[in-house]
Every structure is written in C-alpha cells, then in structure tokens.
Chains A and B, each alone.
Chain A
Amino acid sequence: MPGGVAGEIERLGELTLEVPRDRLLDVARHLAGPPLAFAMLSDLTCADYPEAPERFRLAYQLYSIESGARVRLRVWAGPDPEVDSVSSVWPTANWHEREVYDMFGVRFRGHPDLTRILMPIDWEGHPLRRDYPLGGEEVEFSDAR
C-alpha cells in the first residue's frame, strides 16, 4: 500500500492498520480490490476519546471471503470530525456511517444520505459521545425527608 498506512499493530491475533484520514479512500479501494479482496465490510463503528487531540477513533472491520482474513482499519476523525465516506467502496457502509453520524456526530464526506438513523430525525446531540449524560429520571421519595 503506497504510503497509505501509518502504522501496523498486531495484538490478540487481530491486525489493525492505522490510516491517516486523508488516505482512507485510497486504502479502502486498494484493500477491497484484487488481490487482497476484502469485499466485505463487516462493521464500522467509533469510540470517543474526549481528552485525545483527535478525539473520534473509527474502526472498520474488514473481512475477505476468499482468504478468510480479517483486518481492522483505525482512523482518527479529528476534533471537527469529518472523514471520507467509504459507501462508494462498500455500499453496506451507508447505514453504518449513518449510525456513527447519529451517535457520535462524525460527518462523512460524499455520503449519499447522511440522516439520523436510530434517534428521531430532529434529535439534538449525539448520545454515544462520552460527555452526553446517561440520563434517567431521578426517583423522588415523598417520605424521605
């Protein structure tokens, strides 16, 4: 992969490739096509690190039906989170990216239909961010004082 991968980590039997976000689409196209043939994007999700300078860490789980290999791409989305959409490479990314947008507020450039998916369409805030409160109503006991 010409200059696309910034780092390679192998731990617990899983391979993770660190990809700079401006190279994501190139790397995705390269991995999806022959000879590697990671034709299936199993999963795409995100984790929020409010203290980290790049904050949002995306994880793409790829699977190759031909070789049975799995690889994970790790992309940091940055504090003003926006990365390229991979839905042109793997159409399944469409809903996954909508979910990440809904839950974390990460925007995907070139996504055909970036709408909230699990929350109501006019919801404010992104529930899976670490600084979003868990909520719940406090129980009031009338005889507690």
Chain B
Amino acid sequence: MPASDPDATAVFAGERREALEAARREERPLTETERAIAESEAYTPEEAAARTREAAEAPERPGVRHPMVINLGPQHPSTHGVLRLVTELDGEVIRDLHPVIGYLHTGIEKQCENKTYWQGITLVTRMDYLAPFFNIHAYTMAAERLLELEIPPRAAYLRVLMSELNRIASHLVWLGTSGLELGAITVFFYCYRERDAALDLFEMISGERMNHRYFQVGGCADDMPRGFESKCREFVRSMPSRIDEYEELLSHNPIWLERTKGIGILPPEELIGLGVTGPPLRAAGVDLDLRKAQPYSGYEHFDFQVPLGTVGDAYDRYAVRVREMRESVRIMEQALDGMPEGPHIVDDRKIVLPPRSELALSMEALIHHFKLVTEGFRVPEGEAYCAVESPRGELGCYLVADGGPKPYRCHVRDPSFVNLQALRPLARGALLADLITIIGSLDNVMGGVDR
C-alpha cells in the first residue's frame, strides 16, 4: 500500500490504537504480543523501511540495525490457513516472531455447552477439519467414560479402521501441501489422488466426505455398507506402492534434502516442556504414541511400530510421517482381517437411537427415538479427560457433566494449538525461507488451533 494514501495509514494505525485501548482499560502496560501487533500495524511498509534506515544511520548507536517488522499472513498460502506471524527481520534472518491466532475462532466450545451431547459431535468434528474422526473419537470416548459405557468390539475395530484411514488422508494433505511449498508440485497431485480414494471410502461408510459424524456415543453410526470391505482392501493393497512413489520423488531429491535437512531443530527436553506431541516429538527420538502408551479402542491387539527420528529436523518429521502411513496401512489390514462379528453400537435405548426398522412397529422404540432426538440423553455428574493420538499429536477432550443432557464444559486440547507454540523457538535465528519449511513440518491445522 502506498504511504501517500491517508486512508491506508489510518487502517494500519487502527490496531495500534486497539492495543493501547485494551491496556488502558485494564490499567497495565502493553504486553509483549500487544506491542508486537501494535508495532506491525503502525506503519506502512515504506514507513517501516525508512525507520530501519534511520535507525541504522543513527549517530548514537552506529551499526545497530532496527529490525524490520513484517506481517506474514493471515492470508498467505504457506501458513496452512489463517495464521499471522508478526516477524522481526534482520535482512533475511528472523530475530523474533509472534504468532497471532484466532482468525478462525468460531466459539465451538461455547456452542457445545448449549447443545446436547449428540449434537456436539457435529460441532467438534469441524475443529481439526483434516482429522474429523479423531475429534469425534476423543469426544465420544470422554462421554462414554462418564456414562461408564463399554463399546462392542466391532465398533472398536471400525473406529480403528476409520482412524487409520483418516491418518493416511491427513498425512497425504500434509505431504502434498508441504511438497508444493518447497517446489515439488508433482507430489501434490499424487497425494491428492490417493486422498480422494480415502474420501470416497469416508463417503461410502458415513455419507460425507468431510465433517462426518460416524462415531457415536456407544459405537459407530452404521455398519460397513456392502462393497466397502473390498474397496477398502483395494486401497490397502495399492497404498504401499503409492507411498514408494512419493518417496521416489522426495526422499533422495537433492532440493528436498537441501531444504529440509537440519532445519528447525529443538532438543527433546525443550519440546516436552512446550507440550509438543505427535510426529514433531517422535522425530526428535521421544517414543510417545498414545496408541502404545495408553492403548484405547483395542489398539493393544494390533501389531505396529512407532517410527522415530534421530535428529528432529524437518526431514525427520517427513520421514516419520511417511513411515507412519505405512504402519497405518498395516493396522487397517489387521482391522479388516480381524473384524469381529456382532453389533456396531451398544444396545442401550436410553443412549442410542433405536434401529430405523423398529420405529414403524414398536411404540416404545418411537418414544425412545423421540426422547433422544428432542431432549438427548443425560450424562451423570463428573469430569473426564480422554486423549487419542491424532495425526498431529495428543488430541484430548475434557468434558465436565452436571447430570443434564448438555455438557457443562467441553474443552478440546488440540495438538495444533500446542505444537504451534514451538514455532517461535524453532524459527528464531532461521532464514525467512526456512520458516515456510518449519511451518509446513509442524503440520498445524488452523481450524484446530482456533476452534
């Protein structure tokens, strides 16, 4: 925006005023982030450049350069959604960086408090929109723990099957887009080809390609439809050779290696302190996978390995995710082979909708159906925290129940939100171009960060 445009300057000055206003209201000095935001919005790019020059030429501190403050985002193709980074640059080196989030905040947690438990499923699935099955899984597990409800073995296997398929689909989006950011465009097309096959399977079993509500409190909404198993087996059969294709494109590609090796490293203790989980932590060699550490939904019956890295750089995170896809394929195969017979949802009419076929014949079924749809089921008082291993790390749901049909409090610990905190220490001292690699390798989904 040209500096001469007075309207533009007024817009930029707006947020500076807002920050000052907030601090004045609470009678306190500006906080670090408020100062960074105010700084970034106070000047047009031309003014900022002039200021940098002035500071460099100032006689009292010769040679000391004033950092140039640049807003990266919120609308930027490489930030994986609406992430804004107030970046202090010295030439091409990042001196400091302040992530500004909340652009996608939709108040889902507040909404959940005003919806019944089974309506809440529809909301939580939209948080981390690349891993909807995991959001619902954590939520339903927390509700089931409060209800002290045991799900049937077939439901547990169906959940494992769909979770692992979702993990592959999510990693494919990550691989495709981070490849794209670093200039590898072919891998994007390849990944989306297979992701589409995965979405077809989602649609087949749940009716939707995204934001499904397939997992229900008590089990799964429906059994596998006819033809699903053979299509799923076809996917499982073809996937290993597809993963070979991606690896052929990237694993020994000199540009890919140059861009990812040695980029974005933090020591494991620091990552643990920052609460980082999932592939970024495992790439640094910490063996923490909730599927192994605290098996849920029958994961203890499956034979799979937890891929670990050694260095913890962006390349290791890539390698860990690719190997995780291979393990997920193995788990899917085992789930299909060992799928137990039996019901796909518990037979408890106070919690689960009666089968459609009974509605026309049984008065009692109709009453249960009516009560569940209009009022919902009641959950006894208590609190529960249940966590699953999502493609991005520990996805936990903290539910507080007060005995009514609506959660008193529903909070989701989203791994994207927590992992994003590591961006600042990771990016300090890095080059601006490497920032794109680091953001990509953390694999944040802004829907999950902002909720």
In B302-316, which residues have CB < 8 Å from any A CB? none
Contact A118 B385 (CB under 8 A): no
Q: Known contacts A40-B275, A113-B32, A118-B101: does B408 contact A65 (CB below 8 Å)?
A: no
The bracket for how many chain B residues form the interface is 35 or more
Contact A113 B396 (CB under 8 A): no
- Interface with B: A20-28, A75-83, A86-94, which one? A86-94
How long is the Cα–Cα vector from A37 to B428 in the complex, in angstroms? 29
In B380-416, which residues have CB < 8 Å from any A CB? 382-385, 387, 394, 396, 398, 400, 408-409, 411, 413
Contact B272 A42 (CB under 8 A): no
Interface: B19 (CB within 8 A): yes
* Chain B residue contacts of A42, Cβ below 8 A: 275, 385, 387, 394, 396, 413
Nearest CB in chain B to that of A100: its residue: B411
Q: How many residues of A contact B (CB 8 A)?
A: 43
A-B CB pair tally, cutoff 8 Å: 116
Contact A122 B22 (CB under 8 A): yes
Interface: B235 (CB within 8 A): no
* Chain A residue contacts of B294, Cβ below 8 A: 68, 70
* Chain A residue contacts of B408, Cβ below 8 A: 47
Interface: A39 (CB within 8 A): yes
Majority SS of interface residues in chain B? Answer: mixed
Interface string of A85-121 (1 = CB under 8 A from B): 0000011101110000001000000001111111111
Interface: A14 (CB within 8 A): yes
CB distance from B434 to the nearest CB of A (A): 22
Contact A115 B418 (CB under 8 A): no
Nearest CB in chain A to that of B384: its residue: A12
Interface string of B261-283 (1 = CB under 8 A from A): 00000000010111111000000
Nearest CB in chain B to that of A41: its residue: B275
* Chain B residue contacts of A39, Cβ below 8 A: 272-273
* Chain B residue contacts of A14, Cβ below 8 A: 383-385
How long is the Cα–Cα vector from A115 to B417 in the complex, in angstroms? 16
CB distance from B352 to the nearest CB of A (A): 20
Contact B288 A65 (CB under 8 A): yes
In A115-141, which residues have CB < 8 Å from any B CB? 115-124, 127-128, 132, 134
User: When the two chains form the complex, which single residue of B34, B277, B385 contacts A115, counting CB atoms closer than 8 Å?
Assistant: B34
Nearest CB in chain A to that of B37: its residue: A121
Q: Known contacts A42-B394, A121-B18: does B286 contact A65 (CB below 8 Å)?
A: yes
Contact A12 B146 (CB under 8 A): yes
Interface string of B414-451 (1 = CB under 8 A from A): 00011011000000000000000000000000000011
Interface: A11 (CB within 8 A): yes
* Best-buried of A11, A90, A91, A123 by chain B (most CB within 10 Å): A91
Interface: A8 (CB within 8 A): no
User: When the two chains form the complex, which single residue of A65, A96, A113, A118 contacts B105, counting CB atoms closer than 8 Å?
Assistant: A118
* Chain B residue contacts of A113, Cβ below 8 A: 31-33
* Best-buried of B22, B148, B277 by chain A (most CB within 10 Å): B22
Contact A134 B275 (CB under 8 A): no
Contact A127 B286 (CB under 8 A): no
How long is the Cα–Cα vector from A3 to B293 in the complex, in angstroms? 31
The 5 closest A-B pairs by CB, nearest first: A92-B275, A122-B18, A43-B413, A118-B102, A47-B409
B contact residues vs A (CB 8 Å cutoff): 15, 18-19, 21-22, 25, 31-34, 37, 101-102, 105, 107, 109-111, 114, 145-146, 148, 270, 272-277, 286, 288, 293-294, 382-385, 387, 394, 396, 398, 400, 408-409, 411, 413, 417-418, 420-421, 450-451
Given contacts A65-B288, A118-B450, 4 further A-B contacts (CB under 8 A): A14-B384, A48-B409, A92-B275, A103-B109
CB pairs A–B below 8 angstroms (20 shown): A12-B145, A12-B148, A39-B272, A42-B275, A42-B413, A45-B409, A47-B409, A61-B396, A65-B288, A68-B293, A70-B294, A72-B385, A91-B273, A92-B275, A95-B420, A112-B32, A114-B31, A115-B31, A120-B18, A128-B110
